[in-house]
Chains A and B, each alone.
Chain A
Amino acid sequence: MPMRFLPILLAIAALNAQTPASDGATHANWPQYGGTSLSWRYSALDEINIGNVGKLAPAWVFQTGDYEQGLQSTPIVIDGVMYVSTSRSQVFALDAATGSLIWQYKYPLPRGRATAQNRGVAVADGKVFIGTYDDYLVAIDQKTGREAWKVAVNDSRQCGCTINSAPLVAEGKVIIGEAGGDGALRGYLTAFDTQTGRLAWRFYTIPAPGEKGNETWKGDSWKFGGGATWMTGSFDPALNLVYWGTGNAASDLYAEDRDPGGNGQGGLNLYTASVIALDADTGKLRWYYQEVPKDMWDYDAAYESILIDREINGKMRKLLVHVNKGGFAFTLDRTTGEFIKAFPIVELHTWVQGITEDGKWVGRKEPLPGHPVNVCPGPLGGKSWNQDAYSPRTGMIYTPSIEMCADLIANRQEPREGGGFLGGNWVLGLPTDRTNFSHVDAYDPLTGKRQWTYPSKSLLFASLLATAGDLVFTGDPEGLFFALDARSGKKVWSFQTGAGHRGSAVTYSVKGKQYIATPTGYGSLAAGMTAGLFADSDRFRGGSSVMVFALPEGSK
């Protein structure tokens, strides 16, 4: 071997020895629902930072005019254009520096649909993708706003299911989930070709007879066993794996008809209440981790998967952090699905005494047929679907938690396709011995240690945004949009936006200037169900606008 090649070979060997950590930070753009496909909701932009955030001021506001169920969206920003969707599947392209309208797309939702909700679009390959409340996936031309293709993912009139979540784009495919697992539905995840709209693959979250995992269901219960994929997943391009959380098993509260007996080793009612890893090309299952075997509390595992690389015992590990509605966060190895750590993100978790070092629940308090059983968290979860953020600067996971309880009453129920399949009922309640019912916390995802907590009386139902300016942004139902110090949790800035927060703030830059954008307008199922628990809920205002902030000229 000629000597001159040796230094190069050594350099390559050194690179291989320290695989560079995957970077989930956004920069000028906010290209995906979770920021990047690693779902950190973290931006490397730091023009707006802990030192100058006090000067942050409104730059522009855009009113969508669609006030249905608030504005629950995550705006996508690419090359100075913002794409934002409303609950009734309208999509707006806006100049991200000025807020002026470039185009709008109005999806014709069928009449008779009394409500709708939508949480965002995906943008890739010259198209903007939106899932609709009547179960279509639509591709819109990114330049003109004209429809390019649409495809029926299911028949909502039959399945009783809807699409509320944003799609995920991965290597020429657009992947879309499905909501409706509190009804009689067999959950699935579907991928389509971004250009042609043709089906790429479908993965059912509940295996059919003959497939591995079907033995974890009793009789025919697999046919309507839930496992809805009602939020947006993540994608690791290096591993070519798509990660998705799955919803509760159904019927939600009554489980005897789906329990096949046996010891439940490896899971019960697979793959509900699980994180699944699928090959992005084929949709084939690579691994699963079931967080709540034989779920009986509506404890979906449908929320976001945050993909981070961290050192454990001197070795760089590819990890996945995921919060379950039961009020616990899970840290898994995302190559293999191996359990690493679980820790509570709520102060009240009376449904279980605890969890062992290897991830086994201890002392589950299960609903009983006909008798109320009080558990915390209630069926809305220790956190709603609004999303966590992760900052590589602090190494912290930031999470919005809620402290709520419920009386659960299980009742046996026969499934009826597309109909409700809750297997009982519940009454939500606030814990009586507290004055705050929600908090933003910073956790070390490796140890589960809480670094700080920011308490809130009303329920924090908006996502978090972390930035390299060491700020964490979110909003509350009363309309305040605010920034916390990422290292201490102290509130360092706030602004009254005039409507409650149920969406997801983002940050981006145009021509080198950084902007912070937040949807405003309170709404959603959870917001409606909890309003009655607060005497002052008239202050939680609906609406639907994008409000954007920046530093005034010369104030840096």
Chain B
Amino acid sequence: MRWLPWLLGFAPAWGQSVPEVVAQGEKVFNQTCATGYCHGLKGGSGGAPRLAARGFDEAYINSTMTRGVSGTAMPAFATILSRSDFVAVAAYVATLNGIATPNVNLGGGRAGGPPMETLSRDAARGRELFFDSLRGFGRCSTCHEVNGMGIPVASAIAKVPADAAALRALATPGVRTATVGGEPMPAVVVSQGKTRTIFFDLTSVPPVQRTLDAGAASLAEGSRWSHASVVGAYSDGDLESILAYLRAEVMSNR
């Protein structure tokens, strides 16, 4: 259900004509699908099958792109491309199969989240910072999944702090102290059963998911771990942009 509001609300806001969508699709196709290991330019085949002039209809294109093809290198693009890129690529592949005016409001594509085009400049910058791969393990998405991207160590972000200071000083009651072999470590517990305890060790980034026999780890409430210790690489300005991005995401999920 969470993607329904923006499916209805944002799709018209793209405001792109069909030729513009197809042109965007060709660009993304060339970057993502056309390589020599895969379908080739204009779908003329590379390592993977030819896509042009195969008589594919739009439903088939859409479902194949959504699900991928088992036993081949063709992944499920619904979880890889943004929704607007997904729709654009599907439209472009349709034109390669003689469908002059493809339907650009097809279902499928990635669930959730506003398209980049609808983010404010500040929020778009925040999104880049949140997922910034040049920061390696120092980026937010090392521990947070938002909109289908990032590693879900922390639980989903439901409330967005008011400002950078609040983000640094964030209370983290979910972080406890696990003691393993006499060594205490900050821990986010995943599950605690009769036989096994599973938790994330937050001692260093990236967090390590440990699975231990129940007796091998003892858990206590509280921890000296602080959110400030892992957001240090971002400036206050960076964090404000990230908060703007998160507000846009949380709003879109309501």
Segment 54-75 of A: residues with Cβ below 8 Å from B: 68-69
> Which chain B residue shows the least CB distance to A158?
B149
Docked Cα-Cα span, A153 to B142, in Å, equals 9
Docked Cα-Cα span, A160 to B142, in Å, equals 16
**For the complex, would chain B's binding face be called helix, strand, loop or mixed by DSSP majority?**
loop
Q: How large is the interface on B (under 10, 10 to 19, 20 to 34, 35 or more residues)?
A: 35 or more
Establish whether residues B205 and A420, one from each chain, have CB atoms under 8 Å apart when the complex forms: no
Q: Which of A150, A160, A422 interacts with B37 by CB under 8 Å?
A: A422
**A339 close to B (CB within 8 Å):** no
From known contacts A425-B41, A525-B47, infer whether A418 and B201 are also in contact, taking CB-CB under 8 Å: no
Establish whether residues A114 and B203, one from each chain, have CB atoms under 8 Å apart when the complex forms: no
**B97 close to A (CB within 8 Å):** no
Q: Which stretch, A196-204, A255-263, A319-327, touches the partner chain B?
A: A196-204
CB-CB under 8 A from A395, the residues of chain B are: none
Docked Cα-Cα span, A114 to B208, in Å, equals 27
Segment 143-196 of A: residues with Cβ below 8 Å from B: 146-155, 157-160, 182, 186, 196
Segment 198-253 of A: residues with Cβ below 8 Å from B: 198-199, 202, 208, 223
Q: Which of A159, A199, A208 interacts with B204 by CB under 8 Å?
A: A199
**A20 close to B (CB within 8 Å):** no
Docked Cα-Cα span, A160 to B73, in Å, equals 12
CB-CB under 8 A from A428, the residues of chain B are: 47
Docked Cα-Cα span, A223 to B132, in Å, equals 11
> Which chain B residue shows the least CB distance to A199?
B204
Docked Cα-Cα span, A426 to B33, in Å, equals 14
Distance in Å: Cβ of B123 to nearest Cβ of chain A? 18
**B72 close to A (CB within 8 Å):** yes
Distance in Å: Cβ of A418 to nearest Cβ of chain B? 7
From known contacts A114-B72, A198-B208, A417-B133, infer whether A422 and B32 are also in contact, taking CB-CB under 8 Å: no
Distance in Å: Cβ of B208 to nearest Cβ of chain A? 4
CB-CB under 8 A from A481, the residues of chain B are: none
Docked Cα-Cα span, A213 to B79, in Å, equals 36
Establish whether residues A113 and B76, one from each chain, have CB atoms under 8 Å apart when the complex forms: yes
Segment 227-250 of B: residues with Cβ below 8 Å from A: none
Q: Which of B34, B136, B206, B207 interacts with A425 by CB under 8 Å?
A: B34
Docked Cα-Cα span, A415 to B48, in Å, equals 21
Establish whether residues A528 and B149, one from each chain, have CB atoms under 8 Å apart when the complex forms: no
CB-CB under 8 A from A413, the residues of chain B are: 30-31
**A421 close to B (CB within 8 Å):** yes
From known contacts A197-B210, A198-B201, A426-B46, infer whether A223 and B74 are also in contact, taking CB-CB under 8 Å: no
> Which chain B residue shows the least CB distance to A110?
B79
Establish whether residues A420 and B75, one from each chain, have CB atoms under 8 Å apart when the complex forms: no
**A379 close to B (CB within 8 Å):** yes
Docked Cα-Cα span, A89 to B69, in Å, equals 18
Docked Cα-Cα span, A321 to B31, in Å, equals 35
Establish whether residues B31 and A414, one from each chain, have CB atoms under 8 Å apart when the complex forms: yes
> Which chain B residue shows the least CB distance to A202?
B136
CB-CB under 8 A from A422, the residues of chain B are: 34-37
Distance in Å: Cβ of A422 to nearest Cβ of chain B? 4
Establish whether residues A425 and B141, one from each chain, have CB atoms under 8 Å apart when the complex forms: no
Establish whether residues A151 and B68, one from each chain, have CB atoms under 8 Å apart when the complex forms: no
Segment 79-136 of B: residues with Cβ below 8 Å from A: 79-80, 131, 133-134, 136
Docked Cα-Cα span, A413 to B30, in Å, equals 8
Docked Cα-Cα span, A424 to B201, in Å, equals 44
Establish whether residues A420 and B206, one from each chain, have CB atoms under 8 Å apart when the complex forms: no
CB-CB under 8 A from B150, the residues of chain A are: 155, 158
Docked Cα-Cα span, A449 to B205, in Å, equals 49
CB-CB under 8 A from B28, the residues of chain A are: 416, 419
List 9 A-B pairs, Cβ < 8 Å. Answer: A112-B79, A114-B74, A114-B76, A148-B211, A157-B80, A420-B34, A420-B37, A422-B35, A525-B37
B interface residues, Cβ below 8 angstroms from A: 28, 30-38, 40-41, 46-48, 67-76, 78-80, 131, 133-134, 136-137, 141-142, 148-151, 201, 203-211
- The 6 A-B residue pairs whose C-beta atoms are closest, nearest first, are A114-B68, A112-B76, A529-B47, A197-B208, A422-B35, A420-B35
Q: A113-B75, A416-B31 are in contact. List 16 more A-B contacts (CB 8 A).
A: A112-B79, A114-B71, A114-B75, A115-B68, A146-B211, A147-B211, A152-B151, A199-B137, A411-B30, A416-B32, A420-B34, A420-B35, A422-B35, A427-B36, A528-B72, A528-B73
